Structure 1
Amino acid sequence: MSVSQDQIEEARAAMPLAFRAPLPVRLRRAGTWALFLGLFAYCLWAFNFSPARIWEGILRLGNVLAFMFPPYVWKSWTEFSDVAKGLGETLSMAFLGTLLGAIFAFPLSFLGAKNVNRLNFLRLSTRRGYDFIRAFETLILALIFIRAFGLGPLPGILAIAVSEIGTFAKLFSEAIENTSEKPIEGIKSAGGSRFQQIRFGLLPQVNPVILSVLLYNFESNVRSGTILGIVGAGGIGFLLSDRIAAYRWDEAWSIIFLIIAMVYVIDYLSGVIRKRIIGNWEGAK
């Protein structure tokens, strides 16, 4: 069935709102776009985002990259040992910070889960505590802990751990709330205690999610550990900052390459662990 142009015009005249948004809606859309474009233009002007400056920066970046090649090759273990120690410290900072954060966040997550903690005041207060902890960036925490504990990996470990407490507690509590009540009700009907309901009915459902979150955040914390080292929290970031400050660009590039390789290896191993362990959990269901 074909519709003629005359019929379309008649329908448009009879029901104009079906073919065009009302005037207030069109004005709001135009105002929103004008505000967005105005803010975008202001940011470009305020930050001196000019083509000449961008071109000059690209030329300087080319000079820096030219100094990085060929990459530096360490010729003895004595020369490479500091770099290996820095990589080990960064990896240890990420591992210990992630582990400590998970240990403290795990019990707190039950206080923030609606299906476990029925006390609204306590649950909401706990959730606001998650938000308060997550409001502090890891780098800010590292600077605070460096002032308190001095230079070295310890401030980096504490910064990662405190930051992850808020993140893990929030993600774990949401995973707990999204579990099914049927296994818990089955254990309860069989006479199981509240602890047994959580241990055998709830935890098997959230364990794969918890493990996945832990592995992902561990990968992220390895990269964060590099940044924390630049501000004095030890690790490979401290060596990288030192090489850049000394204009030893070829060695800095080699260190960057080692960091990238370490992240790739951790990502691969995390994928293997996810596939084997989480896959087994899903198969058990």
Structure 2
Amino acid sequence: MDYKDYYKTLGVDKKATQDQIKKAYRKLARQYHPDVNPNNAEAEQKFKEANEANEVLGDPEKRQKYDQLGADYQRYQQGGGRPGGGNGGGFDWSQYSQGGGGAGGADPFGGADFSDFFGSMFGGMGGSGGGGNRPRAGQDYQAELELTLEDAYRGGPRTLTVNGKNLRLTIQPGVEDGQVIRLRDQGGPGRSGGPAGSLYITLHIRPDPRYARTGNDLTMDVPVALYTALLGGEQTVETLSGAVKINIKPETPNGTRLRLRGKGLPVYRQPDQFGDLYLRLSISLPQHLTEQEKTLFRQLAELRS
């Protein structure tokens, strides 16, 4: 059977740390997850390959055994062997196989079994070195959840469907785009009495056309009529917490910035603290002037000259 290069599958170097392997696997799992790629056979296959590679490289014992196999298999190929024919093309699998060959146990994500290559080395989902019955944590799952800026402001309950299971979670006010939430015991089932894996949910906050976000602060463009900017007055501004009246001073220049304290986003897990809302005033020139208005503006121009 063909040798599987698990390092190539995850796109990592053979000297990669466990954290690097875990990060690479999560990236591929998010990219090729069946929930993200429904009815996509190619993505499903890549998802399964990533799971299998992580099952081996993410376990130090399995990884050590796999690395030793790679060195022996490479020497076999350099010696003129032809992998892929018969029982490994003459390669001696006996020193690596455990509990018989054949395809491995069920994929913890509910997909097909692991490959014959995996089964020949590990005899299913058991661990290496006679530790096949030791407790093992289940696989971690990945999911994504899209929110609006109002959702990030108010928080609240949400329902997410992962692998056909409806999960209810509470979004804390002040979450940020790209933030990851972990739900314990909502991943794949554990093996041999081990705990279930975790579900990691990546939050994506849709851009809001009204506001630009910087941390917990917001910036908003506010159009102001020319006459209000010149003579001063009150103007109503809509914020995430409701309408607020602001005072425009006479002769306010274009581009003036006003600060509304506490009208930004709440600080994550500190619901009594808020960022600020910055208003950037943009003077709006009147359009479609009448002849009388043009005359008045000419008179004003003459007075100012």
- TM over 0.5, yes or no? no
Q: Which has the larger radius of gyration?
A: 2
Higher helix share: 1
TM-score of the two chains, using structure 1 as the length reference: 0.27
More relative contact order in 1 or in 2 (CA 8 Å, sep 6+)? 1
